[in-house]
Structure formats: structure tokens, C-alpha cells
Chains A and B, each alone.
Chain A
Amino acid sequence: MDYPIDYRYSREHEWVRLENGTATVGITHHAQEQLGDVVFVELPSVGSKLEAEGAFGAVESVKAVSDIYAPISGDVIAVNEALMDAPELINSDPHGEGWLVKLTVFDRSEIQRLLNADQYTKYVAAESDE
């Protein structure tokens, strides 16, 4: 899997894409692969405040429920409503149509602390070897 080079990645397997002061957040290809068929997504409401590393929702497959953690802090300005009816978008297009929330960002240094694509690819490989 080639992870997009303009994204940043958390060790909890979320990604962030920064565009014009808005950060889009989703879970990685590796995360969806570990979960299997996603059947349910629980997201925060627009206007809620996320804190970096805090749980802000859940993604569920048939086999398991997985908390999702905010890779950075920010205010939720949009949630992906399409996932309510089509949670499988997380499996089919985790880095695109399967996005979870959009945030306004106050602290760009939090993004700099995340992994880049190369680092994340190595991180996943190392984790799989365990």
C-alpha cells in the first residue's frame, strides 16, 4: 500500500490532510484492513471540540468495535454523513470518500509531530512483524 505523501499519520492509525486551514481526518488503509467489513460508524456532532489523542467516536466491524482517536486538536466543522448509510466507504476508499470529520486547526505544531507517509509505512510494517 502506498500511503499518500501529503498526509500525516498517527500511531493509532488515523490520517490527517491539511488544506486551507481545514484538517480532514480518517482512518488508514491498515486500520480498515485490521477491522474488516465496517458496518457502523459513530461520529461527533458538528461544533464539538476534539482534543489530540482523545477518543471522539467509534468504527465497528462485524467482529469488533474500535475507538477512533483525534490525531490533533480542533473544532468539528463537518462530519461525513455518507458513512451513516454507507460505512463500507471506509473499506473501499479509506483515504478519500471514507473520511470521518473535518476540523478547523489551531495548532499546526501538533500536525508536525505526526508521522509522514514513509515513517508510517515503516511503523505499520514493524507492527505487523510482532
Chain B
Amino acid sequence: MIDFGGWEMPVEYTGIVAEHRAVRTGVGLFDVSHMGEIEIHGPQAVDLIDSLCCNRAASLRDGQAQYTGLLNSQGGFVDDLLVHRINSEHFFLCVNASNQDSDYAWIRDNNPFEAAVALTSTDYAQIAIQGPRALSVASGLTKLDLVSMRYYWFGRGEFCGVPAIVARTGYTGEDGFEVYVPSSEAEGVWRAILAKGGKDGILPCGLGARNTLRLEAAMSLYGHEIDAHTTPYEAGLGWIVKLRKPAFRGREALARQKAEGITRKVVGFQMRGRGIARDGYRVLIEGKEVGQVTSASPAPSLGANIGLCILPIEYSNPGGRIDIEIRGRPVVAETIPIPFYKRKN
């Protein structure tokens, strides 16, 4: 067990590698109840979200979800989050555990709209069912039509007999679902999913596998690839920036950055020499520090040691040689395209 933003969470249950493989080839179960929830009600709920987030919430339909950034005036991330439109006057936000209080304060303090903001994290537990067998397991536990539910859509209904939001989203690079249930029902739902998934070889998965899975898929982690000083363009998340929508926090800074071009960027790399890069290690070119590793690990699905780092734009093309400083010694690595892993279908 480790302390993770005030939550006692297991790094692993049976072992990171076994859990990682279960999600890539079968199904894994994650207790991600630490994630925060913020709900926005009111006729101008969407205007509030669109004034503070860079993606276009106004384009969402009922039952649709969107990945977006809550940005500061410099275009850096206050947080990255998922916005779910329950209906035109009710939006459900899933935010990072460690940022939930600052997110809530930020939204509340920048709200001139007819919209009510509530931090409802303690009301919900979140359980993620991920992997190619997730659909088969989850669809047996609800009357919601999960088979025809598209990626980044969600439904509301009973799941394991309790009221739930079931979204086809995830943080692993696989198909799967993130299920929000009343926190008082969490243990029963967890046990019911494990029982149902037994014949599919479901494994409970800890924070370790969650990290290796998201890293292979090159998904950003707040505090690593993204933070208050990193913009979506620098993080390779330009697709969530909608500069053409009406004014939003950070828009001017982002428009300027887009016109001038970014000077640094999140880049993927693979170790070529013997060694494993880790978060925070220095990136060297010809002995000179040019950047830092933001996330790195052995990649169980790839049989390689990989990582993400922030580099000056001139070094960001794939195929470049860099060195990672490991215990004082430079070890050769090569910049490679991301994501490292992409599922087949």
C-alpha cells in the first residue's frame, strides 16, 4: 500500500506484469475511487465549462464524454479531466484526485454564469473495467446496451443492481468502461465484477499496472507530462484545443504559441543501451542537459524500456539519439513515435 493523494492504494495485487498482461489480453479491474468528481448544474453550465476548458463542451450531446484541459491564463494545465454531458443543464466532471480541491476552487471562483458548482467526490466510487474482455464482463452486469455504446459515450442505469454512470472510457489504451457508483456500494460492486469476470480471468490491478498501461499508450499524467507550466500544444494534446470557439481562459496564450510555434515538446524514447530510465532522470545530448524524463518504465507489452521526456523542439523528431543519465552515467536512447502501443481494433 502506498499513500496516493491521501488514499491508501495498492501498487500491485498479484504483480504488475501479470496485471498489465491481463488488461492487454483479457480484462483487469481498477479501483480508481480516488478520482474526483465535480458536478455543474444550471442553464449556463456549458458556458462555464467552455469559458475555462480548451475543448468544446458545447459540441457534446446527452450521454457523450470529452477529454479536455482546465487551463490557467498562460495556457498551462490546472488539470486534465473528462467532461460528461448528462443533459444540457447537468455536467459531470471526472478530475485528478490530487487536484480536485484546486479545480473546484478555480471553477467556483471563475463562475459569473448561471451555474452551480459542487464537489461531489465523496458521493462516488469509480471502478474501471479494462481490456478486450471488458465488454463481455460488463455487459452481463447491466441492462444498458454496452455493445452499441461508442467510445467516449456513457449511459446511466443500474449496474450490479445499483444506480451508476457507465462510460466507455479508460486510461489503459484498451477498450473498457469506467463505472461511477454510490461510494457506499463500492465494495459490493467490486466483488460482483470480480465474480462475474472469473471465467474471463479478471485480475484486480493496482497503481503500478495503471501506470505502465497508460505510459505505453502515451497518455499524460498530471504532474509528469502536464502541469501548470505545460500547454496542451507542448504535451502533444493540440487536438483538445479549439481556438475557434469563443474566448476561454488561456486562449490568448495558446493562440500566440500556435502562431509562434512551440519551443519544447513531450517526446517518446526507447532505451538502446542497457538501463531503465525513471521519472526525473536527466536527458543529455553530447553531455549537456537538454530536458528531463517525465515518466519512464519497463514496458511489459513491448519488452522494451521506454519513457516520455520534454525536449527542446529541435531534438523532438523521432530517430534522434539522446542519452539518459542513469546513476551518473549516460546511457543511449532513441526518440521514437508515440503512442508506443496501439490496440489492434
Contacts and interface: CB of A to CB of B under 8 A. Distances in A.
B12 A36 contact: yes
Interface in A33-75: 36-37, 39-40, 42, 58, 60-63, 65
B324 interface: no
Interface in B276-310: 276, 278, 297-298, 300, 305
A99 B304 CA distance: 25
Contacts of A62: 16-17, 20, 208, 212, 297-298, 300
A125 to B, nearest CB: 18
A85 to B, nearest CB: 12
A83 to B, nearest CB: 12
A42 B298 contact: no
B327 interface: yes
Contact of A40 (B16, B212, B298): B298
Interface string A87-129: 0000000000000000000000000000000000000000000
Contacts of A58: 327
A35 B310 CA distance: 28
A60 B274 CA distance: 12
B327 A36 contact: no
B11 interface: yes
A42 B12 CA distance: 24
A36 B209 CA distance: 12
Contacts of B305: 40
Contact of A36 (B16, B276, B297): B16
Contact of B16 (A42, A60, A63): A63
A40 B298 CA distance: 9
- In this complex, which of B20, B297, B305 has the most chain A Cβ atoms within 10 angstroms of its Cβ? B297
A63 B206 CA distance: 11
A36 B212 CA distance: 14
A18 B211 CA distance: 41
Interface in B8-43: 11-12, 15-17, 20
Contact of A42 (B17, B20, B327): B327
Interface residues of B, number: 17
B276 A63 contact: no
Contact of A37 (B11, B15, B276): B15
A40 B12 contact: no
A61 B209 CA distance: 12
B298 A36 contact: no
Given A62-B208, A62-B300, A63-B208, A37 B17 contact: yes
Contact of A63 (B11, B274, B275, B327): B11
B278 A39 contact: no
A63 B12 contact: yes
A40 B208 contact: no
Nearest to B12: A36
Contacts of B327: 42, 58
B276 A60 contact: yes
Given A62-B208, A62-B298, A62-B300, A40 B276 contact: yes
Nearest to A91: B15
A72 B335 CA distance: 41
Interface string B310-331: 0000000000000000010000
Given A36-B12, A39-B298, A42-B327, A65 B17 contact: no
Contacts of A42: 275, 327
Interface string A10-43: 0000000000000000000000000011011010
A121 to B, nearest CB: 22
Nearest to B327: A58
24 contacts: A36-B15, A36-B16, A36-B208, A37-B15, A37-B17, A39-B276, A40-B274, A40-B275, A40-B276, A40-B305, A58-B327, A60-B276, A61-B16, A62-B17, A62-B20, A62-B212, A62-B298, A62-B300, A63-B11, A63-B12, A63-B16, A63-B208, A63-B297, A65-B278
Which 7 pairs between the two chains have the least Cβ-Cβ distance? A62-B16, A63-B208, A39-B298, A62-B298, A37-B17, A60-B276, A40-B276
Interface of A: 36-37, 39-40, 42, 58, 60-63, 65
